[in-house]
Amino acid sequence: MKKWLKVVALAILVVFSISVVLVGQMGEKKVQGATNELTFWSWVSDSDTIKQVYEQAIKEFNSTNKYGVKIKAVYTPGEQYKTKLQTAMAANNPPDILNMWAAGKMKPYVDANRLYSISDIMNKDSQWKSRYVDGVFDLTTFNGKIYGIPQIRVATVIYYNKQIFAKYKLTPPKTWSELVNVIKVLTKNNVIPFALDARDPWILAMYAEYIANRIDPDAYRKVQKDPNAWTDKAFIETGKKIQELVKLGAFPKGATSLDYVAARNLFDQGKAAMYVMGIWDVGYLSTQSPVKKYVGAFKWPALEGGKGNVNNFLAGIEQVIAISSNCKNKQAAAAWLKLLSEQRYAKDLLAEKAGYFPTVKVNPDPKKVTGLYLEVLNLLKDQNTKDSFTYYDVMFGPIIGDGFNNTIQSIYLGKDPVEAFKKLAEIAKKEMKK
Amino acid sequence: MKKLERAFGNKLAIAIFIAPALILFTFVIPLPILHSFYMSLFKWDMLSTMTYVGFENYKELFSDGIFLSSIWHTIEITVLSLIFQVTLGLFLALCIVNITKGRKYFQNAFFIPNILSSAVIGILWFFVYNYDFGLINSILKSVGLDSLQQEWLSQKYVILALSITTCWQWVGYHMILYIAAISGIPQDIIEAAIVDGAQGLKMVTKIIIPQIRPVLRVSIVLIITGSLKYFDMAWIMTEGGPDFASETIATYIYRTAFNKLQYGLGSAASTFLFAVSILITVLINKFAAKREEMY
């Protein structure tokens, strides 16, 4: 028996020593492809038109570039992308070029020196930078250096069903009390005012971010420095307004068991009159939605007595592409990014074909885009960039930002706004101390 | 034959035969567990350098209200799953064992959900629970019970709703286990019991349940360990919501490690989960084994 134990012990010892050696080696050695091949990781799925943009630009680049470099794309859509990228980053084996998030979600990667700043390359090439709309790099700039190039602009507007509005003689509301009136008329006629997916906290948070801005645009700036500002009057008021909307019956019953598509279906079927969503849905709403002929858009209404202006947009950028600091050929990678900013990609494909709003200055042919696209483009022209703001979960990162989203969800479900924001302030305090 | 016996008598030969499996097993199971425990002693966002913080993560974990409530939700799901799956599974098994015609059909019908992927079932039941057009509310409406319509995935009902879905998925599996066990009871025991006047419920509680006790134990251990790591349904149907009302320990681990990038905290939570699972399994086995000896 004793001898038997010895054998097992010996075997375990052997296994462990082998594993230690192996693990040690795995850490040292990085798996690398051929030196003239750059990998590009993206989260786009087959149904995204942006995938076509990438594919076509890669094809063009691979056959024409002077660096002798070939780009190879790897697509990992959805949540898996996040897990995959983090695992690769943790093993210090990142791709050369990659899809990235902006602002607070990008910052940890910048802080850990995982991304390469393209400022130097861009500054030498003034013609490249001038192709972009002003301010699109704000959310990818840290310590004065640009770390990523966004492909599309996003903003949130209120879409509405013109047919329903006409039927009940309503006009797009310009103030909160007009909005309340619209909601009252709609509920009286058994129309759901807003198609809301309350399962995903970020969607509800967009309402709150707008309301907070209309109350006081400074609140958003204050919380960036002082976590205690989360308990400011502006946010408490916001919470109360959300509960006011719930009480008015502004949202569908059972909204917590609706997902993105199910909520949009309510709008598509004409059961709901309004729909608060990003302009990334313009393409869908104006070409595929059953009510596509009747969809219009308006700005979030002002609040009587509030300091925020109707031209402050909840806006941001998306589809950021960054170069990792491990990239084997940064010049070549930058050249590919520059290629993406050509009009044939930004205007022809992104704007006219897919209905997106590119970060590159474009003048889409009015005949090639939909009426809703022009309507939204028109709204965005009034944008007051000074007091505009971006999605809190993007701005404040995964702990405070998602914390805000969850706070709003709990308020929607009936929690006292004062209590809820006090808790958020505590989370923020702990996080900002680090 | 002699040669083979000699080979198996040789300890070195045994070691050589066992080694491949042992190496594989070590890499796949114990090492990651040890590694996860090691990670739980650090603060790490998977990007910056790791900082050693001792048991700080555990302290943070148990002061986090969401984690504490996630433990509670996990317990609720475990208890409900035990009640639903064991009683319903046993009931179905007893019914099916006694029918001669169409037994295969029922067996298969109840077993089918088990071969579907959890993702499919999650989406399916997400629609079943929908307020507007969901199956449950539609049925209630069509029979005139409008007042019983509910938001099934609201804070109030979400745990119940998830447990029912899980029951639907797994009950067939446990039923099959029980059927096999009941069919294995020696016929003379049953006959002797009948002669002694055991019938109906008495037969079930006094004869059948004690006879299938080992299988019941296995099934209970499976249900409990399965519920402890309850993740798939909660994530697909509600993402732990609304307002963390269906957050389980497993969704908490995923959220902290991969959404919030608090890798150390997530590892601490998974170490806790591992310890609890081991503890409960050992306890059940000990307790149940003792009871079995009594019979």
Residue of chain A with shortest Cα separation from B238: A199
Residues of chain A with pLDDT under 70: 1-34, 434
Question: Could you tell me which residues of chain B have a Cβ less than 8 Å from any Cβ in chain A?
Answer: 11-12, 14-15, 18-19, 22-23, 26-27, 31, 45-48, 126, 129-132, 134, 151-155, 238-239, 241-244, 258-263
On whether any CB of chain B is under 8 Å from the CB of A324, the answer is no
Say if residue B173's pLDDT is above 80.
yes
Residue B288 burial class via C-beta count within 10 angstroms: exposed 0-12, middle 13-18, buried 19 and up: middle
Distance, in Å, from the CA atom of A145 to the CA atom of A407, rounded to the nearest integer, reads 33
What average pLDDT does the segment B76-100 reach?
Answer: 93
Cβ atoms of A159 and A294 closer than 8 Å: no
Does the pLDDT of residue B39 top 50, yes or no?
yes
Mean pLDDT score, B147-169: 93
Question: Which is more confident, B56 or B294?
Answer: B56
Chain B residues close to A11, C-beta within 8 Å: 15, 18-19, 22
DSSP state of B47: S
- Residue A191 structure tokens: 């129309």
Q: Do A256 and B242 touch (CB under 8 A)?
A: yes
Question: Which residue, among A256, A404, A407, would best test binding to B if mutated, counting the most B CBs under 10 Å from its CB?
Answer: A256
Neighbours of A98 (CB within 10 A): 26
- Under an 8 A CB cutoff, do A254 and B155 touch? no
Record: contact B129-A257, CB cut-off 8 A: yes
Residues of A in contact with B14 (CB under 8 A): 7
pLDDT for A27: 45
From A378-392, A411-425, B106-120, B277-291, the region with the lowest mean pLDDT: B277-291
Encoded tokens for A175 = 């103030």
The mean per-residue pLDDT over the stretch B159-169 comes to 96
Q: Which amino acid is at B203?
A: M
In the prediction, which pLDDT does B70 show?
96
pLDDT above 70 coverage of chain B, percent: 95
Q: Element (H or E) spanning B185, and its range?
A: none
Q: Assess A430–B contact: CB distance below 8 Å, yes or no.
A: no
- pLDDT tens digits, A75-84: 998 888 988 9
Q: Compute the distance between CA of residue B265 and CA of residue B252 in angstroms, rounded to an integer.
A: 10
CB A354 within 8 A of CB A283: yes
Chain B residue numbers touching A114 (CB-CB < 8 A): 47
State residue B131's pLDDT score.
87
Residue B189 has pLDDT above 60, yes or no: yes
Nearest CA in chain B to A404: B243
Partner residue opposite A19 with nearest CB, options B27, B47, B134: B27
**HSE (side-chain half, CA atoms, 13 Å) at A384:** 11
Instruction: Give the angle A226-A231-A232 at the CA atoms, nearest 5°.
Output: 85
Q: Is the peptide bond before A94 cis (omega within 30 degrees of 0)?
A: no
Q: Which of B47, B241, B261 sits opposite A409 (nearest CB)?
A: B241
Q: How many angstroms separate the CA atoms of A39 and B86, rounded?
A: 52
- Cross-strand partners of B278: none
Chain A residues 19-78 with a CB less than 8 Å from chain B: 19
Give A196 to chain B, closest Cα distance, Å.
Answer: 13
| pLDDT of amino acid A31 | 45
- Which of A90, A199, A266 lies at the smallest CB-CB distance from B242? A199
Token pair for A270: 């004409």
Q: Write out chain B residues lying below 8 Å of A262, CB-based.
A: 130
- Which of A7, A15, A199 is opposite residue B239, by nearest beta carbon? A199
Query: Counting every residue, how long is chain B?
Result: 295
Q: What pLDDT does A141 receive?
A: 95
pLDDT of amino acid A30:
45
- Name the burial class of residue B40, with classes exposed (0-12), middle (13-18) and buried (19+) by CB atoms within 10 angstroms of its CB: buried
Say yes or no for a CB contact (<8 Å) between B259 and A402: yes
- Residue A28 is predicted with a pLDDT of 42
Q: Chain B contacts of A15, Cβ < 8 Å? A: 19, 22-23, 26
